[in-house]
């Protein structure tokens, strides 16, 4: 076998070691050709401990498509905690639903209209308003009380 045939892509190596591609990139940076200790360490660590099992993911998807269809991500997360005893975060629920292209019904609010002041007829003119009772110009404009 040639050297090229023995090569693995990062994606293939990550799949074989049951790691993410990002973790495989980290291991690749620590790679030393004279040792295999970097691989043993990765295998010993195993998959991420916070990773949800496929069964839990399936349960979340079934509930999102069935009983709680048409709800918001936050609402689904609260229902999962209350009824199903699944303590997953809203962001986890959101990422699971988006991975299968299930969008939330909640939409962003449109930007509110802001009334701008009218342009002045001449360059440099500005509307100045002073509601104070103080004679700021010291009687030069005929201040009257």
Q: What is the pLDDT of residues 30-68, one digit of tens each?
A: 776 666 665 665 555 556 666 788 888 888 888 888 888
For the purposes of burial, counting CB atoms within 10 Å of the CB of 12, is it exposed (0-12), middle (13-18) or buried (19 or more)?
A: exposed
Q: Is the pTM of this model over 0.85?
A: no
Among 84, 90, 19, 15, residue whose Cα is nearest residue 56:
84
**Residue listed under structure tokens 């201040």:** 143
Write out the two tokens for 139.
């009687």
Q: Which helix (H) or strand (E) holds 93?
A: helix 90-99
């Amino acid at each position: 076998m040639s050297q090229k045939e023995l090569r693995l892509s990062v994606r293939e190596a990550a799949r074989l070691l049951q790691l993410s591609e990002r973790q495989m990139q980290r291991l690749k940076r620590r790679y030393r050709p004279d040792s295999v200790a970097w691989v043993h360490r990765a295998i010993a660590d195993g998959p991420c401990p916070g990773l949800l099992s496929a069964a839990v993911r399936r349960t979340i998807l079934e509930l999102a498509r069935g009983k709680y269809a048409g709800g918001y991500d936050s609402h689904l997360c609260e229902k999962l905690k209350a009824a199903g005893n699944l303590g997953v975060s809203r962001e986890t629920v959101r990422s699971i639903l988006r991975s299968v292209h299930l969008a939330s019904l909640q939409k962003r609010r449109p930007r509110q209209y802001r009334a701008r002041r009218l342009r002045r007829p001449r360059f440099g003119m500005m509307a100045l308003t002073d509601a104070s009772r103080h004679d700021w110009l010291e009687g030069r404009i005929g201040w009257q009380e």
